[in-house]
A = this chain, B = another copy of it.
Amino acid sequence: MTDEISKLTEAAATAAPALDRRGREWRATLLRAIADELEARREDIVAVADSETSLGGARLGGELTRTGYQARLFAEVLDEGSYLEAAIDHAGDTPMGPGPDLRRQLVPIGPVAVFGASNFPLAFSVPGGDTVSALAAGCPVIVKAHPSHPETSRLTFDIMWQAAHRLDAPDGLLGIVFGQDAGAALVADPRVKAVGFTGSLSGGRALLDIVGAREDPIPFYGELASLNPIVVTAAATRERGTQIAEGLVASITASAGQLCTKPGLVFVPSGSAGDSVVARAADLVGQAGAGTALNDRIHAAYGEIGGRLSRLPGVSLIAEGSRSTEGPLRIRPRLLSVAAAELTADATEECFGPATIIARYDSDTELHDALGRLPASLTGTIHAEPSERDRITELAEVLRAKAGRVLFDGFPTGVLVSWAQTHGGPWPSTNSQHTSVGTSAIRRFLRPVTWQNAPQFVLPPELRDGDAGVPRRIDGRLRLPR
């Protein structure tokens, strides 16, 4: 197996400079060809993914649309070119003496290992955001396929490979491996220069240990565990409690709760208005059918963590989804409740699946004390009324410190792929200062290089004299292309 990995990483290392030399335009063409080809094979892809996941055709069709969209969006990023952070400081006098001509731009970091996620067999897997952002950056990619959808992985890999080879892509542009040992070997391989990972905290930690033991530690971008707290104020509870309860349960049960942004903890005020919200949510959860876990591991963990949570002191199970559905790997939605004052660290463990804890709070002080004890998340959400300006401001500041995305009067599931998106937050939600969704995800696979007093022919086209067609900072001043 090590031989097989070495062959792949060697090919990727050889492809790396070639892929860089092809330039932005070629890579944009590649990404659009990949998107076109995925779209052209929509029926096949959705059918295979449907046969080996429990997500259903509608969700998988939407996910394929998103997968093509994000490949095309990175093509736009390449067209536009400001991701290069191109800068030119002309030679001249400085307070420290004469300065040389310095030209800086981001360059590809080298071959990237991408770990596919179980819950998005397309958009966070072989043809997913990590892969297309790394290819956009100019980095060859070797994907470690997720064992929950091997055939979807193979099919989408073949489709991407064909699209790439029709464009005469360098060999080694794309590779794929299967199995945990192959994944570990990939992360340890000296030719791999960065890792993109979406998965569990324990899996992420294990890979991070491999990174730490390398002779040259490399960037590891892990998207790990996230609680995604929601705070509902008393005023919002009174004004639109039913609507909030309905939105919440829809968000909890979407994709059977197997989304990184599923709200796992909801603060609802004590008192009768709060009681109504909780009762309505409990009704809806009680009526909800069981979903299907993506794999054995998620199924087992859902049962185990769910059981652990419900046995914690002060925590009670207040609703559970219908028992009537049949079949393997069923996971039933669960609503738990606890007093915010009794919310311990044990109760803030992520339970991947359709489970949520409602934390009832008596006062803003109690709420803020509890928020202060929470781990960081990908998202934090506030439901409040427009009149509550001071409360909203304070909550937004608290949640901003604990999350990468702060939402108002919405629900965190459904992450738009766009320029201003952030899907990342402080540990344990991610371990990086970057996003794994949206255009700036490309920054993870780039590093800066400065050329000093370089002849024009050595410079990348974007750093040569004259208009380069990309935004550049020239002698400190940002300039847009003509």
- Chain A interface (Cβ < 8 Å from any Cβ of B): 17, 62, 65-66, 69, 76, 80, 82, 85, 87-89, 94-96, 99-100, 102-104, 107, 109-110, 193, 208-209, 212, 215-219, 376, 386, 389, 392-393, 396-397, 400-401, 403-410, 416-422, 424, 426-428, 431-435, 438, 440, 446-455, 457-458, 471, 473, 475-476, 478, 480
**B residues near A109, Cβ cutoff 8 Å:** 433
Contact A450 B404 (CB under 8 A): yes
Asked, given contacts A100-B410, A212-B212, A421-B102, whether A405 binds B85 with beta carbons under 8 Å apart, the answer is: no
Chain B residue at smallest Cβ distance from A477: B80
User: B422 contacts A450, CB within 8 Å?
Assistant: yes
Provide the residues of chain B in CB contact with A446, threshold 8 Å. 433
Residues of B within 8 A of A405 (CB): 449-452
The answer to whether B100 and A455 touch across the interface, beta carbons within 8 angstroms, is no
- What copy number does this chain have within its complex? 2
B-chain residues with CB within 8 Å of residue A389 when the two chains form the complex: 455, 457
Residues B103 and A420 in contact, CB atoms below 8 Å apart: yes
In the bound complex, what is the Cα–Cα distance between A420 and B473 (angstroms)? Answer: 8
Q: Which of B62, B107, B408, B424 contacts A400 (CB 8 A)?
A: B107
Taking CB atoms, residues of chain B closer than 8 Å to A219 are: 432-433
Q: Sorted from nearest, which 8 A-B pairs have the closest CB atoms?
A: A216-B427, A422-B450, A87-B420, A104-B420, A102-B420, A89-B420, A433-B447, A407-B452
B residues in contact with A410, CB < 8 Å: 100, 452-453
List 15 interface pairs A-B (beta carbons < 8 Å), by A numbering.
A65-B96, A66-B95, A80-B476, A99-B416, A109-B433, A215-B427, A216-B427, A216-B428, A389-B455, A392-B455, A410-B453, A421-B450, A422-B449, A433-B447, A440-B448
Closest to A216 in B: B427
Nearest B residue to A476 by beta-carbon distance? B419
Residues of B within 8 A of A392 (CB): 455, 457-458
Which residue in B418, B427, B433 is a CB contact (below 8 Å) of A102? B418
Q: A421-B104, A454-B396, A455-B408 are in contact. Are A416 and B449 (CB under 8 A)?
A: no
Give Cα A388–Cα B456 distance, bound, in whole angstroms.
Answer: 13
Contacts of A471 in B (CB 8 A): 478
Max chain B C-beta neighbours (<10 A), residue from A432, A448, A451: A448
In whole angstroms, how far apart are the Cα atoms of A216 and B102 in the complex?
A: 37
Chain B residue contacts of A85, Cβ below 8 A: 440
Bound-complex Cα distance A165 to B258 (A): 50
Which chain B positions have C-beta within 8 A of A17? 397, 401
- Looking across the interface, which residue of chain B has its beta carbon closest to that of A475? B419
* Apart from A102-B420, A102-B421: 14 A-B pairs, beta carbons within 8 A: A80-B478, A193-B426, A216-B428, A218-B427, A389-B455, A392-B455, A396-B454, A406-B451, A408-B453, A420-B450, A424-B447, A424-B448, A433-B446, A440-B448
